[in-house]
Amino acid sequence: MIDWLRATKSANFYKKTKRLSKKAVVDLFRTVRQSSEAPSRNIFHHVKESLGHASWSALAFLYERDPAFLDLPEGDIKECVCGFVLLVEYREYVAVFKSNLDVPPAFKTEYFGHVADSRVEAAIARTDSTFEQIRLRNMAASKHTLRTKTLEANDLQNVVGPAGASRYVPRGYRVRQGRDHYSASPDSGKISMRSERAGHEELVEWAVSVIDLLINQNAVPSAFIRAFARPIALASIASTTIPTHFAVDVPRLIEELFEPAETMQFVRGAGANAVILNIDEIDTVLAAIVDAFPIRRVRNELRLIHPQKNIQIGRINVAKTRISLRKLQLPEIDNIYIKPANLPVDDETSSVPLKSYIDQHNFFTVLFSDSTLVYLDGELYKDDSLIDGSKRWLEAIFTG
C-alpha cells in the first residue's frame, strides 16, 4: 500500500534530541490513531524500514471529523478524511512529511529539537542561490511598528539595498538554484522543493540530500542573507546585557487559529468540561497578552511585570541554548488551552495550556538592553547595521 503514496517534496526538519527507538515510533503511531475519531484500518503502517543509510516510518488511515463549514448537532454528519505521516531518520536529523495528520506536541518536545537558522541558511540560502522572495520580521516588539514585510523580485539582491535590510530578521524565503526552486521557513524547519509528486523512496532520498546540506559545515550563506540580522549563540551575550521586555507573538497565535489548513482552537477547561471559546472570548484572551511586558531582574529571577498594575505576572529563564517562559499568570488566560480544531473538544491528549503552547512554539520576543539584539522564534539575532551602517552605505556606493 505504501507504493500508492504520492506527495510533494515538502517536510519539517528537526534535530533529534533523543534516540528514536522502534518502540517510540510504535507508541507514536498508536497515539496518533487514538487521537483521531473513528480511525479506519491502516492503509499502510511501516516502522523503521531501511533505505540506504536512512530509516523511514509511515502511517496512513481514514478518520472522521466535523465539517468546518457546518454547525451540526453532535454526531450528526462527519466528513471522512485521509491522512498520512512519513518520518525519515538520517544521522542526527528527522524529516516529517505529513497531510491531515501530525506528530503530537508532547512527542516533539521529547524527541525533536529546532534546526538552527544558520543550518537552514547553509542548506538553502547558499552562495549559488538567487533570491526571489523573502519574508522579514521586524526586531521591534511594539504592536505599533510594521511587524513584517515581504519582498519579491526576479533577483532581490539587485533591488534591495543595505537600508532595506536594517532591523529585520529573515523568517522565510524562496530561492532559485539553476532550474530548482526551494523555499524555507527557519522558524518551523520547513523546507520545500518545487517538484512533481513523488513516491516514498524518492521522498526519503530527497530528505537525505537536504539533511546532508544541513550538516555541511563548509557551506557559506549568500551575501544577500548575511545583510540582515544574523543568528548568534545565546551564550555569547555579554554579562552586562540584560533582557528588558517580553512580548507574546499574538499575530502567530491568530494565524494558528484562523489560517488553513491545520487550524487550532482556544478552549476553556480540559476533558469533558472543555468548551470552545467564541470570538469575543478569544479577543479578551488576546487583548490580555498583546502588550509587551517589562522585565525586572530581582535577585536571580527575571520577572515579567504588568505594565499598568506594576505587579509580577510571570517569569522567564535565560539558559545557554534557549529562553523559556516559566510562568505567565493572568486571569484572562487561566484554564485556557490550545487544541487542533479537527479533534474532539474533549480530547485531553491534544490540549496544551496556553502558556505551555507559547513556550513550546517559541511564540514570543525578548528585547535586551543592547538594542542590536533580539530573541524571537527560539533564536537570538544580532543586527550590526546600527554599528557599521556607515561602512555598508559606503560599500553600496562603490559597488552599486
What's residue 76's pLDDT?
Answer: 80
Contact 347, 339 (CB under 8 A): yes
What's residue 260's pLDDT?
Answer: 55
Q: Tens digit of pLDDT for each residue in 295-330?
A: 999 988 999 999 999 999 999 999 988 999 999 999
Q: Of 56-65, 143-152, 202-211, 292-301, which gets the smallest average pLDDT? A: 143-152
What's residue 396's pLDDT?
Answer: 41
Would you kindly state where each structural domain of the chain is located, as residue ranges? 2-113, 117-230, 243-369
Q: Tens digit of pLDDT for each residue in 152-200?
A: 999 999 988 766 677 899 999 999 999 999 999 998 899 999 999 999 9
On average, the pLDDT of the chain sits at 89
Q: Tens digit of pLDDT for each residue in 391-400?
A: 444 444 333 4
Amino acid in position 397:
I
- What's the average model confidence in pLDDT over 1-16? 96
Q: Tens digit of pLDDT for each residue in 96-127?
A: 999 999 998 889 989 999 998 989 998 999 99
Other Cβ atoms closer than 10 A to 103: 19
Q: Tens digit of pLDDT for each residue in 40-65?
A: 999 999 999 999 999 999 999 999 98
Q: How far apart are CA 400 and CA 398, in angstroms?
A: 6
Helices in the chain by DSSP H: which ranges?
Answer: 22-34, 105-111, 117-124, 162-165, 200-215, 250-258, 279-289, 354-360, 385-399
Query: Does 34 have pLDDT greater than 50?
Result: yes
The model's confidence at residue 288, banded by pLDDT at 50, 70 and 90, is very high
In terms of Cα–Cα distance, which of 263, 292, 268 is closest to 280? 268
DSSP structure string for 131-197: EEEEEEEES---TTS--EEEEE-S-GGGT--HHHHTTEEEEEEEEEETTEEEEEETTTTEEEEEEEE
Query: CA geometry: angle at 226 spanning 223 and 227, to 5°?
Result: 95
DSSP structure string for 111-134: HEEPPPHHHHHHHHSBTT-EEEEE
Q: How far apart are CA 287 and CA 143, in angstroms?
A: 12
